Structure 1
Amino acid sequence: MVTTSSGFVHPGNPYRADCPTRRILDRIGDRWTVLIVGVLGQEGDVRFSELRRRIEGISQKMLTQTLRGLERDGLVRRTVYPQVPVRVEYALTDAGCTLVEPLRALQEWSIEHLGDVSASRESYDRTD
């Protein structure tokens, strides 16, 4: 069930363009989210610089944006330690922890099917 700002309650339906579940799917289906949740699910509390080091190819800007979105959605907790220099760590919330297994399944699927997908892409590209 989804309650809108006007108080209307309706069941979530991601196939409807106006359903808020679409925004949630956009967030959790994003490749950077999958990788960030993967690292946080393995490591627990992780500093920004460690996340950036572990996730090759992610820019500082994209990591910042993705972490902010995950924090806004209640999936990641940001903790600031008032020391010099300031230390900031990120961790999954309880809700974020529930994503670890489904997203890990996607990662494992991609590894398991990498050969088949690569072969299909090569075959498709040859037909052009």
Structure 2
Amino acid sequence: MIKRLEEGVIGDSLNLTKVLDSLPWNHQGLINAIAQQYDTGEVLMLAWMNRDALVETIQTRSVCYWSRSRKSLWRKGETSGHYQQLKTLRLDCDGDAVLLLVDQVGGACHTGRKNCFYNEIQDDRVVVISEPVI
């Protein structure tokens, strides 16, 4: 199904349910989800979604992930107050990753930092490059 979109032109569309049925979910029923701040382009985090999390996100516009450690839906911000409001949701060309353009309220990372990518490789060192924003 996603293959049909590869040859598509602007404005072509397919039924959402059929596309979700055809996504290459991994053996755990999960797909990669990248969260990006919609207005700055800052990459915030990488997480996982199952079909229920993806559908809930589409329906509520509030981002929901699948927590592999808790084995349950993880509604971003439910306990921390650091929500992600969905602005746009995109699939990559072969359907194996979701890009969530979001408005992040508070830090995206569980450490309290703005994003999860605060460890920078500099030559032979890994350097922390940001402080928590809490």
> Common fold, TM-score beyond 0.5?
no
**Range class of TM-score, shorter chain:** under 0.3
Decide which structure has greater helix share: 1
Larger radius of gyration: 1
